Amino acid sequence: MGDWNSVNLEVVYYVLGWIAFSSWAFCFYPQLILNFRRKSVLGLNFDFVVLNLTKHTSYLIYNASLYFNSTVQRQYRQKFGFDQMIPVAANDVAFSVHAVLLTSLTLFQIAIYDRGNQKISKISIAIVFAAWLLAAVCVLIAFPTRSWYWLVSCFSTLQVVMTTIKYIPQAAFNYQRKSSVGFSIGYVLLDFLGSTTNLFQMIVQSIDQRSCVNLYGNIGKTLLSVVCICFDILFMIQHFMLYPSRNGTISPNSNAESKDPLLQDASKQIMSSWNSVHLEVLYNVLGWVAFSSWSISFYPQVILNFQRKSVVGLNFDFALLNLTKHSSYLIYNASLFFSSTVQRQYRKKFGLNEMIPVAPNDVAFSIHAVLLTAYTLFQIAIYDRGNQKVSKISIGIVSVAWLSAAVCVFVAIPRHSWFWLVSCFNDIQVVMTIIKYIPQVILNFRRKSTIGFSIGNILLDFLGGLTNYCQMAVQSIDQDSWVNFNGNIGKTMISLVSIFFDILFMLQHYVLYRSKNKANIASNSNVVSKEPLLKPSDHPHSDSV
């Protein structure tokens, strides 16, 4: 593989790749579990599964060939350039192997479970036969000329065609039945997450290489993501908007629905306080993706500081406000997750049937965030700071925040208003979230540069904010209530504010100050003039792209 220009983007690339792999790998299990529990495959279109097996098999041939075969890699670079990176990662190969195995297992379930009057259509059989016949012809054409990359590209094209076709039978089947019962929405939601992160992974690589060859050089992977996203949105519209009432009742016009064991006892569908086990799985997956992204986001800055032995370019007010923000957020999360008294007062306010809007990943993230932010402040104390220092305004803000918290404690003790008290800490973290980014934005603007402030932190923070917001949306959809958003306004605001400022930082780094970052010039900043990174010979593959 070619060299990365940014270590941070390389980290983000692999993180996104394994998130996509995990999402796509997990997406098979909701359907398998649903089939197993019902001992039935009614509602799952068999054409979809058969076409899916052809698609994943051809995709496995493409990925394995381009990842492991040096001859295919050489022919790829001859076509697109010897400085280009191979657009297939280890997670692509791992996913393909796993997908073939799990799709085969689904076909085995179709063979042994109740099928009703469903069967594989002759059209699908003809399509699969034609696909493999064309693949055989391509092998015969490629063999004399040793055009191995052209051959594996044919398999890539085949999987794109199968991806485009495979969803149509299931979408049409749902439309005919006016229901999506039997087809797992968990599969759709995880497939959507995998497709989105897969597309972002390719974009990150293109940004690092400053070339779009990665996108059209692996057009199969690009189209795979786009097509999946489009159909997954269609399935979500069918499930949540067009046929939500039909999904919970027996349809008299559908033989598949009339035999669905899940409909015989509605109470069996409710596990714990979740209405859908698939949405519960997705909720937990999104939560840990957000936790992983936010947790890892601290490390690019910490590593950058360590490599440079300098914190010049990182605004100290940002770090100080960040510590106050994460400390207050930890108090809120830990109290609402562990204290039964706080939980009881929460339900008394928002409803006894409402779920607690704090998950284990929220508590774990808060603890980790406090530790890493404190370590960043330790780096500020021991590394070269130039003429930077913490402003009196930030010191004043932090003092007022903790003084206000102390007053709230004295107010809450006589009335035992513990949920009100932890909500005050939640409000503090919301205010700190809004404020903390502003000093760094201003410092970047004054210097006309983002050197010293890790873009890896921003990209991972953006991913964490996005998946955190999606996690809350999943819970609200399952509970058919939006109390989750206003009941935990802090978590809602942390996502929206983070996403807004992260987009602003990306604009500064990649659009507004890109040329100055590249040349390591910051003529308008006395701070940056002392920055070790400004010596091109020191760090040729620095954080700045």
The span from the CA of 317 to the CA of 321, in Å, is 6
Question: 470-493 burial, b for 16+ CB within 10 Å, e for fewer?
Answer: bbbebbbbbbebebbbebbebbbb
Region 354-376: mean pLDDT is: 84
Model pLDDT, residue 195: 87
Higher pLDDT among residues 202 and 519, named by residue: 202
Question: 323-354 burial, b for 16+ CB within 10 Å, e for fewer?
Answer: bbbbbbbbbbbbbbbeeeebbebbbeebeeeb
CB 278 within 8 A of CB 30: yes
Confidence of residue 399 (pLDDT cuts 50, 70, 90): very high
Model pLDDT, residue 287: 76
Element (H, E) at 14: helix 7-38
Higher pLDDT among residues 539 and 1, named by residue: 1
Region 419-435: mean pLDDT is: 89
Region 214-240: mean pLDDT is: 79
Question: How big is the CA angle at 308 (ends 304 and 310), to the nearest 5 degrees?
Answer: 95
Ramachandran angles phi, psi of 384, nearest 5°? -60, 125
Q: Quote the longest CA-to-CA distance of the chain.
A: 88
Express each pLDDT in 92-132 by its tens digit.
788 789 889 999 999 999 999 998 899 999 999 999 999 99
Confidence of residue 216 (pLDDT cuts 50, 70, 90): low
pLDDT at residue 2 greater than cutoff 90: no
Lowest mean pLDDT among 108-117, 401-410, 529-538: 529-538
* CB-side neighbour CA atoms (13 Å) of 535: 6
pLDDT at residue 362 greater than cutoff 80: no
pLDDT at residue 543 greater than cutoff 60: no
Express each pLDDT in 458-511 by its tens digit.
888 888 888 888 888 888 888 777 776 766 666 777 788 888 888 899 888 888
Confidence of residue 440 (pLDDT cuts 50, 70, 90): very high
Model pLDDT, residue 258: 38
Model pLDDT, residue 487: 64
Model pLDDT, residue 273: 65
Element (H, E) at 525: none
pLDDT at residue 248 greater than cutoff 60: no
Map residue 135 onto helix, strand or coil.
helix
CB 349 within 8 A of CB 424: no
How high is the mean pLDDT of the chain?
A: 81
pLDDT at residue 25 greater than cutoff 80: no
Bridge partners for 271 per DSSP: 274
Model pLDDT, residue 245: 60
Model pLDDT, residue 205: 83
Express each pLDDT in 278-322 by its tens digit.
777 788 778 777 777 877 888 889 888 988 899 999 999 999 999
Token representation of residue 475: 């819970």
Model pLDDT, residue 254: 41
DSSP state of 513: S
pLDDT at residue 329 greater than cutoff 50: yes
Region 71-96: mean pLDDT is: 80
Give percent above pLDDT 70 in the chain: 85
Distance of CA 115 to the CA centre of its chain: 35
Model pLDDT, residue 321: 94
Task: Quote the pTM value.
Answer: 0.50
pLDDT at residue 544 greater than cutoff 50: no
Region 348-364: mean pLDDT is: 78
